[in-house]
């Protein structure tokens, strides 16, 4: 007697393409996915609980470990939340340094995404090319912060270290170099027929669905919604730079790819302008009390991280520790749409779709 059976396939938490410890339980018929059930929490470290017993400055290193590919934006979001509550004036030079490191971090993060995405799809070389450029950025960030991944660079009221001698010059040289490499990526990947076949029309969703599922970042912009908090709810000094918010209409993995690649270019524009406008000298820290105590009350701020909208909610009692700290982690929200996208797809598309969402598990699990 021949009969067919559905099969349960457990992908992860140890699987090369889940980018960490993400697990998804698939019900498959042949290679077609009938149902997908994501399981997360393997990297949950209780940052929010820990933070309730830490002073605000002590929390900053913990944020490095959430989205460890773009730690600078994480640093910034908590500083920004506290600064918003305390209504602090940040020195100009510090703001420029912040924007520079955040945008460099954004490029580095997108490069990792680009490399690993292609690796998921089966092309190995772009990964190593992307890491070459990322290495250059990490070197720059290392020079200014002393760390390569978990920077712990920003402080409430400013930044910890001033730019070392010649740092700005190095960035100035980096921008054209990066542009050149970027066009190399487009030559190698963006026109590749196999790649296009793999990503076009895959993981499709509409504008309404994207909003319904609280997607943000490139996952939202790929549906044609031109929305970037840097521009639309401008914070820091982003209103001083001219840059575009790339948005593409098709809402598939291809649009997400184009979005992120275009974002690298936009970030380069911002970096270029920031370097030009960089103030010769000045303070890098605002006058803040030794022990930071935001006023009693609550605040929620959100900024644009490479992965989308990262938010920070603080409920303060006026003490030196937050009463409640909550991060809106973009990967966590973005991942929610995954089960819906997977139904009826091929297993190969699982990788394409999951990779296209661009999650960092440290952030998903908090």
Q: Which of residues 20-39 bind other proteins (CB under 8 A)?
A: 31
Q: Is 73 a binder of other proteins (CB under 8 A)?
A: no
Nearer to other proteins, 251 or 366 (CB): 366
- In whole angstroms, how close is the CB of 211 to other proteins at the nearest point? 5
Shortest CB 55 distance to other proteins, Å: 13
CB nearer to other proteins: give 101 or 325: 325
| 225-244 residues near other proteins, rule: CB under 8 A | 225, 227, 232
- What residue ranges in 253-329 does DSSP mark as E strands? 297-305, 308-316, 324-328
Does the protein bind other proteins through residue 257 (CB under 8 A)? no
Residue in 14, 9, 10, 18 with CA at minimum distance from that of residue 364? 18
- Taking the complex as a whole, the smallest distance from the CB of residue 264 to other proteins amounts, in Å, to 19
Among 9, 34, 168, 288, binds other proteins (CB under 8 A): 9
Distance (Å, whole) CA 335 – CA 227: 19
Strands (E), the chain: 7-11, 23-29, 32-39, 154-155, 158-159, 297-305, 308-316, 324-328
- Measured CA to CA, the distance from residue 334 to residue 364 in angstroms comes to 9
Tell which one of 6, 29, 58, 125 touches other proteins (CB under 8 A). 125
Of the candidates 238, 325, 305, 281, which has an alpha carbon nearest to the alpha carbon of residue 57? Answer: 325
Of residues 23, 27, 44, 240, which one binds other proteins by CB under 8 A?
44
Quick one: which of 166, 184, 282, 295 contacts other proteins (CB under 8 A)?
295
Residue 195 backbone zone (phi > 0: left; psi -120 to 50: alpha; other: beta): alpha
| C-alpha closest to that of 358 among 18, 12, 129, 53 | 18
In this chain, which stretch among 121-129, 261-269, 273-281, 283-291 interacts with other proteins, using CB under 8 A? 121-129
CA nearest to 216, candidates 122, 336, 79, 44: 336
**Contact positions with other proteins (CB under 8 A) in 126-185:** 128-129, 132
- The residues in 193-232 that bind other proteins, with binding defined as CB under 8 A, are 194-195, 197-198, 208-209, 211-215, 225, 227, 232
Out of 66, 77, 222, 301, point to the residue binding other proteins (CB under 8 A). 301
Report d(CA 126, CA 114) in Å as an integer: 8
- Judged by CB under 8 A, which of 41, 184, 279, 289 binds other proteins? 41
Q: With respect to other proteins, which residue has the nearer C-beta, 272 or 309? A: 309
Query: At closest approach, how far in Å is the CB of 21 from other proteins?
Result: 13
Going from the C-alpha of 196 to that of each of 71, 181, 190, 200, 257, the distances in angstroms are 31, 20, 7, 6, 10
Token output for 202: 């895959």
Token look-up 């067919």 returns 4
Stretch 45-64 residues interacting with other proteins (CB under 8 A): 46, 48-49
227, 252, 250, 229: which is closest to 239 by C-alpha?
229
Residue of 91, 294, 306, 362 that binds other proteins (CB under 8 A): 294
Tell me whether residue 129 or residue 243 sits nearer to other proteins (CB atom).
129
Q: How far is the CB of 101 from other proteins (least distance, A)?
A: 23
The region of 153-161, 259-267, 272-280, 335-343 touching other proteins under the rule CB under 8 A is 335-343
Nearer to other proteins, 40 or 262 (CB): 40
212, 184 in Cβ contact below 8 A? no
SS3 content of the chain, % helix, strand, coil (to 5): 50, 15, 35
Q: Which stretch binds other proteins (CB under 8 A): 70-78, 152-160, 190-198, 283-291?
A: 190-198
Q: Does 282 bind other proteins (CB under 8 A)?
A: no
Helix (H) or strand (E) holding 16: none
| Minimum separation from the CB atom of position 8 to other proteins (A) | 8
Q: At what angle do helices 92-121 and 347-357 cross, to 10 degrees?
A: 170
Smallest distance from other proteins to CB 130, Å: 11
What are the tokens at 219?
Answer: 């996952």
């Amino acid at each position: 007697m021949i009969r067919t059976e559905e099969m349960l396939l457990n992908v992860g938490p140890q699987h090369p393409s889940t980018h960490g410890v993400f697990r998804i339980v698939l019900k498959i018929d042949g290679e077609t996915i009938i149902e997908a059930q994501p399981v997360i929490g393997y990297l949950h470290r209780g940052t929010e609980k820990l933070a309730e017993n830490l002073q605000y400055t002590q929390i900053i290193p913990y944020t490095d470990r959430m989205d460890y590919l773009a730690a600078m934006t994480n640093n910034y979001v908590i500083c920004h939340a506290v600064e918003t509550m305390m209504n602090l004036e940040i020195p100009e030079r510090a703001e420029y340094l912040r924007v520079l490191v955040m945008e460099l971090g954004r490029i580095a993060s997108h490069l990792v995404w680009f490399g690993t995405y292609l690796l998921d799809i089966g092309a190995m070389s772009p990964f190593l090319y992307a890491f070459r450029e990322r290495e250059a950025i990490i070197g720059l960030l290392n020079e200014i912060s002393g760390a390569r991944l978990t920077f712990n660079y920003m402080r409430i009221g400013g930044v910890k270290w001033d730019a070392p001698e010649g740092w700005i010059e190095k960035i100035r040289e980096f921008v054209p170099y990066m542009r050149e490499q970027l066009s190399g990526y487009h030559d190698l990947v963006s026109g590749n027929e196999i790649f296009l076949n793999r990503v076009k029309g895959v993981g499709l969703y509409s504008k309404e669905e994207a909003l319904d599922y609280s997607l943000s970042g490139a996952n939202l912009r790929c549906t044609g919604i031109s929305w970037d908090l840097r521009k639309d709810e401008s914070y820091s000094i982003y209103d001083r730079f001219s840059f575009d918010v790339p948005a593409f209409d098709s809402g598939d993995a291809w649009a997400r790819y184009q979005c992120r690649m275009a974002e690298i270019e936009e970030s380069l524009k911002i970096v270029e302008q920031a370097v030009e406008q960089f103030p010769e000298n000045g303070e890098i820290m605002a006058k803040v009390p030794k022990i930071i105590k935001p006023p009693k009350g609550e605040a929620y701020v959100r900024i644009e991280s490479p992965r989308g909208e990262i938010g920070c909610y603080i409920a303060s009692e006026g003490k030196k520790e937050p009463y409640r700290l909550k991060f809106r982690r973009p990967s966590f929200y973005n991942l929610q749409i995954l089960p819906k996208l997977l139904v009826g797809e091929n297993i190969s598309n699982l990788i394409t779709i999951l990779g296209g969402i661009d999650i960092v598990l440290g952030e998903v699990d908090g």
